[in-house]
Structure 1
Amino acid sequence: MPRPTVFIAALLLLCGNASGADHPCAIPPSPGELTRIGDLIYRNECNRQPQCLVDWNPGEDFPSLGIGHFIWYPEGVEPRFTESFPLLVQHLNQQRVTLPRWLDQLKPLTAPWPDRATFLQQRDSKPVLALQAFLARHTDAQTAFLLQRLQQALPDLMQQVPSAERPGLQRKLTQLCDSWLGWYSLIDYVNFKGEGLNPSEAYAGKGWGLKQVLIRMNGGNAHSAHERFADAAAAVLTQRARLSGRSIEQEVWLPGWLKRIDSYRGPPADTTSR
């Protein structure tokens, strides 16, 4: 198996070539920066605890997997949010990463647990533990997938914005991608709350993805870009919680969301590069 830094460098080259140079952020962060970003995302989602890599949160109708808590729907569940775990599996296959046998043989590729109660009964089973160990071994590949998701979304995002607003949006993205902290903010937010391109991901017609945050973000200099992005993200998510009409979003989820957004202003003191 290639060393992590070499593996990430190869994937970054592929991401850069695939994304082209027709939008901001086409040149990816360095391998070391991407490893640092992945570690922060792992901290955000799981506090770096491997058992969290295969989980099912209360109040949700799907499990979440990996450092990005990628959504995986059971059969028959209406996909309200963008499903990302099958896309990760596809990415890993393309990179010739050997999957756990049961996952590789799973047809169709839907979550094998019909509900949270069933999952909790099986969370210490051999298949679940094997999947946890697999995801813990391949954090770098998951981070590269997150970068790829962001870069592939940006051209579509720019096209969905009125032409008169595109130069301002491009300036904001250029400023954010001028530092690893800006890259972290973008990659984490897309993984965390989506691109903002799916019309079904909205309450009362108001979305909460990256597009909505960038539109709401105030102008300014590059030095303050990640601060302004954090301010806009906090406002968008506060609006989402209010419009949801669900007490769990306003009372339980929103405080955690805002704490996560605060990390865009500067990394936690205990964050280290691996």
Structure 2
Amino acid sequence: MKKIIISLLLLSAISTFALNMPSKDELNHVGNLIYKNETGLRKEYLVHWNKGEEFPSLGIGHFIWYPENFKNGRFDESFPGLIELYKEKGIAVPKILTTRYSPWTSLEEFNAAKAKGNMNEAIDFLENTKDIQIEYIYKRLDSSLEKITAISKNPEHVKKQFYRVANSKNGLYPLIDYVNFKGEGVKETERYNNEGWGLLQILELMQGEGTGPEALAEFSEKATFVLHRRIDNSPKERGEERWKENWTNRCATYKNQ
């Protein structure tokens, strides 16, 4: 009976707990890890277009920016929201980044513009404002729990697993990185064979109780499973198998930082 009461008290605390704003140093540390994950710490990749994709990705989080002629917006377009944050803070943005849609409409057009040096100002700007970008990513995480519990069939379980990770030492990094990397898992368009690959799907699969290394190891394991399942379910023409090793290695960092 005593164990049951303690468990109920813990669950109640979890239900009302809110994320504490991390320090600037903590956020910058996480930002550098994300920068490494997305670009290998190579400045030129702050403005990039992956082969096989229909849009460019910018910044330390490789935020998606759709061309105007792109009609198949399966994934969250996150770059315009970052620009809005710059504007809210009164930060002047290079003109090339101020259009509603990507000024480049194809990989070939993008590569030609980059070769001419047309993106150098934008690359320098993104390099010098990494702190704003990690703040933007953190804000997405901070609002994610409400979104995922709203559609989960087991919201208390999801909330419990979220805080198992969040309350673990170094637990902020895997949560922030994964939400930026693969989203909350709430969009119907972010599914292959009706199976998603976002934070929601990871938390639903987790079953453990404790915080600390145990929670981070389970998060890493379930993230790997969810991404491998995505690859197995993905249309063959997308060639997502080519990302398997990189995604697996990224998930391994969630338990080792």
- Does TM, normalized by the shorter one, top 0.5? yes
Secondary structure of 1:259's aligned partner: helix
| Partner Cα distance (1:86, 1:101) in 2 | 13
Deviations 1:101-123 (A, max 9, x none): 3333x3xx101111001101111
Counterpart check, 1:89 vs 2:79: no
For the residues of structure 2 that align with 1:149 and 1:233, how far apart are their CA atoms? Answer: 18
Alpha-carbon contact 2:15-2:156 (below 8 Å) kept: no
Paired residues of 1:23 and 1:154 also in contact (CA < 8 A): no
Letter paired with 1:93: K
Find the aligned partners of 1:266 and 1:25 in 2 and give their Cα distance: 25
Does residue 231 of structure 2 align to residue 241 of structure 1? yes
In 1: Cα distance, 2:236 partner to 2:96 partner: 37
Partners of 2:134 and 2:169 lie apart in 1 by 14
Q: 1:212 aligns with which of 185, 201, 218?
A: 201
Output the amino acid matched with 1:88: L
Name the CA distance, whole Å, in 2 between partners of 1:217 and 1:57.
Answer: 31
Cα RMSD after superposing both structures: 1.6
**After superposition, what is the alpha-carbon deviation per residue over 1:33-87, rounded to whole angstroms, capped at 9, x for unaligned?**
1111000000000111110000001110000000000000111112111100001
Tell me the matched-pair count: 241
Residues 96, 103 of structure 2: 8 Å contact kept:
no
Matched, 1:76 2:69: yes
Residue of 80, 103, 123 corresponding to 2:97: 103
Contact 1:54 1:132 in 2 (8 A): yes
The structure having more radius of gyration, on CA atoms, is 2
Task: Tell me how far 1:172 sits from its aligned partner.
Answer: 1.3
Map of 1:48 onto structure 2: 41
Aligned equivalents of 2:89, 2:224: Cα separation in 1: 35
Moved over 6 A (4+): none
Which of 227, 230, 245 is the equivalent residue of 2:220? 230
Counterparts of 2:16 and 2:75, CA distance in 1: 26
Alpha-carbon shift at residue 184 of structure 1 (Å): 0.5
Q: Could you list the runs of 5+ residues in structure 2 that have no partner in the other structure?
A: 1-13
1:180: how far off? 5.0
Which residue, 114, 124, 128 being the options, matches 1:133? 124
What residue in structure 1 maps to residue 150 of structure 2? 159
Determine whether 1:36 maps to 2:4.
no
Output the amino acid matched with 2:251: I
- TM-score norm. by structure 2 comes to 0.89
CA deviations over 1:118-163 (Å, ceiling 9, x no partner): 101111334411100000000010000000011122111111112x
Give the aligned partner of residue 177 of structure 1: 166
**Is 2:165 the counterpart of 1:142?**
no
Once residues 150 and 212 of structure 1 are traced to their aligned partners in structure 2, the CA distance between those partners, rounded to angstroms, is: 15
**1:261 maps to 2:251:** yes
Q: In 2, distance between residues paired with 1:87 and 1:23?
A: 28
Separation (CA, whole Å) in 2 of partners of 1:205 and 1:65: 29
